[in-house]
Structure 1
Amino acid sequence: MEQVGLNPYVVLYHDVISPQESAQLIELAASDLKASGVFQAKGSTFKRLRTVKARWIKKEFNELTKRITRRIRDMTGFDLKEGEKFQIINYGIGGHYNMHKDYFNLTKIPYKEVALAKHFGDRIATVLFYLSDVEQGGATVFPMSGYTIYPRAGTALLWYNLHTDGHCDPSTLHAACPVMVGSKWVMTEWIRERGQMFIRPCLKPSA
């Protein structure tokens, strides 16, 4: 495990997914990729934040996804019974994800969306698996801290989106730089607050 930085806390795990596992996940996703655009409202218009293709896959889909779920649990200590599915994402040439934060900040979510979001809680942490190398481009960057992480197949990036007191950490603002040459494959697991109350209890900011 390599510590990228402390503010925000970001670590990089090496050799946590094998080439065979990566190939199987890519093959699984490639059969049913869908365009996945994320938009941000800006006045009366919407700005596209992401240009990629993706597929959502249940953690219990097959033995491979179950094995990776156990691996994430061992890496992070978090309970993964609740929360989101895996998302396998492909960035082709020019594929990117503009500056964004993974947390929702539930105090600012529209009323009609609050119930579902609060059922699982906010995104306490993100685990990003790199399933492929990228010949040029495709780095993950955290501009407020100056971190730059280049994709390397078999590695996984972990960061916490929330402080120990449960408040959102704006320093986790990050982006996926455009792919210039090659193709980038990643798999993301967003770990939600639900089920973590005894694993990572809400503490004072100084704890």
Structure 2
Amino acid sequence: MAKQLVPDSEIARVFDRALESTAPVDYAALANCSITRKFTETAGLKKIASRKAQVFSWENFLTPDECEKTIDVINQHLRPSEVTDTRGDKYVRTSSTCDLGDIADPHVAMLDRKIAEGLGIHWSYSEPTQGQKYEVGQEFKSHTDYFEPRTKEFEPNTAERGQRTWTFMIYLNSTPEGGATRFPRLEKLFRPKQGMAVIWNNLNADGSVNPFTLHHGMKPRQGEKYIITKWFRERGWGPMFDDPGFSKL
């Protein structure tokens, strides 16, 4: 039986408490969350060898059925994708987006719980999960997920929840050609494979942003590409690494 969704009133209380929190962020602990320790004993989970950034891949994180169900939900709620800073290029992101967090669906709640547990950070420290669809020729040009300090996007996007920390992205289908995610400064490329997650820390262990996480959502050359992404933040509700609220999702 599906777990009960969190009532809107409870979500509001969670984030009201999050905004009241003044506890300092333990960036060293963020850089040592459970995914960084369990890759040696978890099937399909691999740490990418690099001293420049913390990056992991996780094959078969979602099952084919979970991926197909998620694609069905995304297709019902698509809108044009947006960015917080185009840097003068209106074509920086040409995909379509689905705000899964706005949908009261037990399947979406399952995804939220599974991602948070996989990473090892409580769900209240995350943004609502987002789905994206890329058609042939669509892309998200090279960008970073963190909000760039000392730019006009920084203050309005970090005032309440803080900076983005970890990114958890999952491919929902395999593409025949193209559609890879490329990290040019790490010289690493991930080709879409159904159910595979790519996870990275956007920050260094001292809390500074990590420019080596620059990445490019490349154009599919054949077929469509579907992914979901969840971004985690510095501020949430209660302990960052304990799980008092997982059972309520």
TM-score, normalised with respect to structure 1: 0.86
Cα–Cα, structure 1 residues 140 and 24, in superposed 2: closer, same or farther, change >3 Å? same
TM-score, normalised with respect to structure 2: 0.72
Q: Deviation at 1:93?
A: 0.5
Cα–Cα, structure 1 residues 178 and 60, in superposed 2: closer, same or farther, change >3 Å? closer
Amino acid of the residue matched to residue 207 of structure 2? G
Instruction: Render the CA deviation track for 1:69-121: whole Å, top value 9, x for unaligned.
Output: 221222111122144211100000001111100000344335xx725522111
Amino acid of the residue matched to residue 31 of structure 1? Q
- The answer to which structure has the higher strand fraction is 1
Percent sequence identity over aligned pairs: 27
Deviates more, 1:128-137 or 1:48-57: 48-57
Match for 1:26 among 62, 71, 82?
Answer: 71
Measure the CA separation in 2 of the matches of 1:36 and 1:97.
10
Q: Which runs of 5+ in 1 are unaligned?
A: 201-207
Amino acid of the residue matched to residue 72 of structure 2? E
Give the corresponding residue for 1:193: 234
State the number of aligned residues: 195
Q: Kindly report the root-mean-square deviation, in angstroms, between the aligned alpha carbons of the 2 structures.
A: 2.1
Match for 1:68 among 108, 111, 119?
Answer: 111
Measure the CA separation in 1 of the matches of 2:130 and 2:146.
16
Give the corresponding residue for 2:181: 140
- The answer to which structure has the higher helix fraction is 2
Match for 1:172 among 197, 210, 213?
Answer: 213
2:204 equivalent to 1:163: yes
Amino acid of the residue matched to residue 205 of structure 2? T
Match for 2:135 among 80, 92, 110?
Answer: 92
Q: Deviation at 1:199?
A: 4.3
Measure the CA separation in 2 of the matches of 1:5 and 1:48.
33
Following TM superposition, the consecutive aligned residue runs of length 4 or more in structure 1 with deviations greater than 6 angstroms are none
CA contact (8 A) 2:112 2:129 kept: no
Instruction: Render the CA deviation track for 1:140-188: whole Å, top value 9, x for unaligned.
Output: 0100110010010011110000112111000000001111011100000
Q: Deviation at 1:36?
A: 1.3
Match for 1:40 among 77, 86, 95?
Answer: 86
